């Protein structure tokens, strides 16, 4: 069993983005949710499309952080990427965009 963390807190992600780390942000919410609010630089890849699109759109090298509203769908997506595609470079944003709004950016839209 790996001791590698499976998720990242909003504070950790914010710190790494501020430091200029090269991170691919994959948002697995639906298009309507993404259009309402999303982290700058994130890419929309709805959870239902993940099996079809992940192989070509989610990078195999470098950190990938998967994002959703509260962290549940993104945890499923991260699990899929790790277990089915063998990606060890994938972390889930704990608490999703809701936690981001509460902990990092009070101006970030919530729903």
Contacts of 108 (CB under 8 A, 6+ apart): 37, 97, 100, 101
Active-site annotation holder among 8, 50, 68, 97? 68
What does the H/E/C string look like for 49-77?
Answer: HHHHHHHHHCCCCCEEEEECCCCHHHHHH
The dihedral built from the CA positions of residue 108, 75, 90 and 52, taken in this order, carries a sign that is: negative
Which tokens is 70 given?
């509260």
Asked about 37 being catalytic, the answer comes back as no
- For residue 108, give the DSSP letter: S
Catalytic residues: 68
């Amino acid at each position: 069993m790996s001791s590698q963390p499976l998720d990242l807190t909003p504070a950790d992600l914010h710190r790494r983005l501020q430091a200029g780390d090269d991170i691919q942000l994959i948002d697995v919410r639906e298009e309507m949710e993404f259009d309402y609010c999303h982290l700058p630089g994130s890419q929309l890849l709805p959870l239902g499309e993940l099996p079809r699109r992940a192989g070509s759109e989610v990078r195999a090298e470098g950190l990938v952080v998967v994002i959703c509203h509260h962290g549940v769908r993104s945890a499923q997506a991260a699990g899929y990427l790790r277990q089915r595609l063998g990606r060890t470079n994938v972390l889930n944003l704990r608490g999703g965009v809701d936690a981001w709004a509460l902990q990092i950016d009070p101006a970030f839209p919530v729903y």
